[in-house]
C-alpha cells in the first residue's frame, strides 16, 4: 500500500452532455437535433430508446448540482444544446434556451463549482443537417455565430470552454462507421466532416480571442492507445495507423497545422482526400489554452491484411473488459498522455472524460456496490498520479459520468454513472464509486 496524493490545485470534476441527460426535447422552443431524428428512427438505437426524457435534468438540474456539491467536485463539465439556442441552427436566438443554461450556471457557481462548457457534444440542429450538416462549410459559419452568442451570454461566468467533443466520433463513428447520428457510411464524407469541425473549432477560438472573452478555451479529442503486438516493422506500422486514426489525425492539425502524411497517403489509397482550402490549416492550429482528452480504452494491434481500414487486427491478450466490451487498459492512459506531452509540448492537459460501464444492480437501501467501476477509477487515478509525478502537465480529471444516462446507440442499457438513475422514477442514487471519489477528493488522494 502506498499513499497517492494529488496536487492541491488538481481539478476534480464529472462530465455529462446535453442530449444524454436533459430530456425536455420539445420544451421552451428547442429545435430538433440529428439525435432526435436518429433515435426516433426504428433500429438505430438499442431498444429504440431516445433522449425525449433521458434523466430529465432540464427540470432536475438542482438535484444534479446538489449531488455534485455533496461529491465535493470543484468543476462540472456539461454541454449546451445548440438547438435550444438556435432551434433552426441559425437565425433568431431562443432566449428561453439561454435562460435554462443561466439557471444551471448560476446554481453551479452558487455551489462553488466551476462550469466547464462544451459547445458541441453532437446535437447538431436537424435544420442544418438538412442542408448537408458538417459536410457543408456553411455549418462552420453557423457554429461560430452560435458560439459567439453563448460566449457573450456567459462571459466571465464560464471560465473553461471546449469547442468540440470528440471530433473522431462526430466524423468517423457517425459518418463512416455509421453507428451514431446521422448514420452515414462514407469515408470521404467522414474526412470532410472531421476537417470542417476542426476549422469550426479554429474559427471559434479566433472569435473568442477577438471578443476578448475571459477564461480559457480548448478542444477535446478522444485518444486511445494501440500498442504493437510485436516489434516487427509490419506490426509497428499497423498499430501506428490504428493509433493515428484517433490520435494524430486530430492532434497534428490542432497543434501543428498539418495532417500526418502517412495517413493522408493511406486514405488516398482508399480513394479519399482532405478538402483543405487555403488558410484552413492556420485556422485549425490556433493556440489553445488546454487540451481535453477523453480516454477509455486501448489494446494491442498486429498487421493483418484486409482487417478493417488499416490492416490492423486487435489482439486479445487477456485484458479485463467492461460491459462495453472495452479493455481495461489503465497504463494506456499513461502512455497516451506521455506521448501527448512529448509530441505537443507543455499545453495543460485535462482528462475531460474517463470512466466505465458495468452492469449495476440496485441493492438494499438503494445502494449500488459497483466494485468493478471503483476499481477502474482506482487504476486510472494511479496512472494520473504517475503522470503528474513524471512532469506531464495534467491539471484535472472529469469522471464520465455524473449519472447513468442515454448512452447513444446503446440506449439506457449501458450505465456509466457514479450515480444510479432509476429511469422509471428518475430518482438518483449515488453508487459506491461516488463515495470512493468523494473520499479521494476530500483527502486529496487515497491509499492505493
Residue 120 in contact with ligand GCO, rule: CB under 6 A: no
List 172, 416, 429, 436, residue binding ligand GCO (CB under 6 A): 416
Which CB sits closer to ligand GCO, 94 or 222? 222
Asked if 238 contacts 303 with a C-beta cutoff of 8 angstroms, the reply is: yes
Judge whether 331 counts as a catalytic residue: no
> Any contact of residue 328 with ligand GCO (CB under 6 A)?
no
Give 228 or 299: the residue with its C-beta nearer to ligand GCO. 299
Q: Which residue has the cell 425525449?
A: 52
User: How far apart (Å, rounded) are the C-alpha atoms in residues 431 and 296?
Assistant: 20
Catalytic residue among 166, 203, 248, 252: 166
Asked if residue 150 binds ligand GCO (CB under 6 A), the reply is no
Closest CA to 385 of 339, 375, 377: 377
Is residue 116 part of the contact set for ligand GCO (CB under 6 A)? no
Residue pair 118/79 in contact (Cβ under 8 Å)? The answer is yes
**Kind plus residue range of the DSSP H or E element containing 205:** helix 187-211
d(CA 163, CA 202): 9
Active site residue 166: yes
Per CB under 6 A, 235 contacts ligand GCO: no
CB closer to ligand GCO, 18 vs 94: 18
The phi and psi torsions of 224 (rounded to 5 degrees) equal -145, 180
What are the grid coordinates assigned to 101, written together? 443554461
Among 235, 353, 360, 404, binds ligand GCO (CB under 6 A): 353
Buried b / exposed e over 291-311, threshold 16 CB at 10 Å, is bbbbbbbbbbbbbbeeeeebb
CA–CA separation, 297 and 320 (whole Å): 11
294 binds ligand GCO (CB under 6 A): yes
Q: Whose Cβ is closer to ligand GCO: residue 107's or residue 170's?
A: 170
What HEC string does 352-369 produce? Answer: EECCCCCCCCCEHHHECC
Catalytic: which of 22, 252, 353, 410? 353
Nearest to 228 by CA among 216, 215, 237: 237
Least Å distance, CB 79 to ligand GCO, is: 9
Size of the site for ligand GCO (CB under 6 A): 11
Binding status of residue 400 toward ligand GCO by CB under 6 A: yes
Report if residue 67 touches ligand GCO, rule: CB under 6 A: no
121 marked as part of a ligand binding site? yes
Q: Which residues does the annotation mark as catalytic?
A: 166, 353
Q: Which residues bind ligand GCO (CB under 6 A)?
A: 17, 20, 165-166, 169, 222, 294, 353, 400, 407, 416
Annotated binding site: 20, 121, 165, 296, 400, 407-408
Amino acid at each position: 500500500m502506498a499513499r497517492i496524493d494529488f496536487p492541491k490545485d488538481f481539478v476534480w470534476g464529472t462530465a455529462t452532455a446535453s442530449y444524454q441527460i436533459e430530456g425536455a426535447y420539445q420544451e421552451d422552443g428547442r429545435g430538433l437535433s440529428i439525435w432526435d431524428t436518429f433515435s426516433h428512427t426504428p433500429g438505430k438505437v438499442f431498444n429504440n430508446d431516445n433522449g425525449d426524457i433521458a434523466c430529465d435534468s432540464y427540470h432536475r438540474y438542482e438535484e444534479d448540482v446538489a449531488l455534485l456539491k455533496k461529491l465535493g467536485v470543484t468543476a462540472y463539465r456539461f454541454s449546451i444544446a445548440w438547438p435550444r439556442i438556435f432551434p433552426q441552427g441559425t437565425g433568431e436566438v431562443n432566449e428561453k434556451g439561454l435562460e435554462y443554461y443561466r439557471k444551471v450556471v448560476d446554481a453551479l457557481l452558487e455551489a462553488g463549482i466551476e462550469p466547464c462548457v462544451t459547445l458541441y457534444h453532437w446535437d447538431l440542429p436537424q435544420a442544418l443537417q438538412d442542408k448537408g450538416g458538417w459536410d457543408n462549410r456553411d455549418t462552420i459559419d453557423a457554429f461560430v455565430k452560435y458560439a459567439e452568442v453563448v460566449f457573450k451570454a456567459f462571459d466571465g461566468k464560464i471560465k473553461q470552454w471546449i469547442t468540440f467533443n470528440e471530433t473522431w466520433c462526430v466524423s468517423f463513428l457517425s459518418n463512416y462507421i455509421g453507428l451514431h447520428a446521422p448514420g452515414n457510411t462514407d469515408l470521404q464524407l467522414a474526412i470532410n466532416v472531421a476537417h470542417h469541425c476542426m476549422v469550426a473549432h479554429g474559427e471559434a477560438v479566433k472569435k473568442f480571442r477577438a471578443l476578448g472573452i475571459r477564461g480559457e478555451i480548448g478542444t477535446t479529442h478522444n485518444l486511445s492507445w494501440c500498442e504493437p503486438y510485436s516489434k516487427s516493422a509490419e506490426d509497428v506500422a499497423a498499430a501506428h495507423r490504428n493509433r493515428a486514426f484517433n490520435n494524430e489525425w486530430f492532434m497534428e492539425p490542432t497543434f501543428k497545422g498539418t495532417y500526418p502524411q502517412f495517413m493522408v497517403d493511406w486514405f488516398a489509397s482508399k480513394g479519399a482526400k482532405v478538402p483543405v482550402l487555403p488558410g484552413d490549416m492556420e485556422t485549425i492550429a490556433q493556440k489553445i489554452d488546454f487540451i481535453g482528452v477523453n480516454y477509455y480504452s486501448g489494446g494491442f494491434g498486429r498487421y493483418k491484411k484486409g482487417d478493417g481500414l488499416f490492416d490492423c487486427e486487435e489482439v486479445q491478450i487477456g485484458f479485463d473488459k467492461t460491459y462495453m466490451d472495452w479493455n481495461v487498459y489503465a497504463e494506456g492512459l499513461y502512455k497516451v498522455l506521455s506521448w501527448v506531452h512529448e509530441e505537443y509540448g507543455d499545453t495543460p492537459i485535462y482528462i475531460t472524460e474517463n470512466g466505465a460501464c458495468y452492469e449495476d444492480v440496485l441493492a438494499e437501501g438503494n445502494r449500488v456496490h459497483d466494485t468493478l467501476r471503483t476499481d477502474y477509477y482506482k487504476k486510472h487515478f494511479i496512472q494520473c498520479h504517475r503522470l503528474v509525478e513524471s512532469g506531464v502537465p495534467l491539471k484535472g480529471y472529469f469522471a464520465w459520468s455524473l449519472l447513468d444516462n442515454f448512452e447513444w446507440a446503446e440506449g439506457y442499457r449501458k450505465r456509466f454513472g457514479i450515480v444510479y438513475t432509476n429511469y422509471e422514477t428518475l430518482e438518483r442514487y449515488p453508487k459506491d464509486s461516488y463515495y470512493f471519489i468523494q473520499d479521494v477528493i476530500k483527502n486529496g488522494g487515497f491509499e492505493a
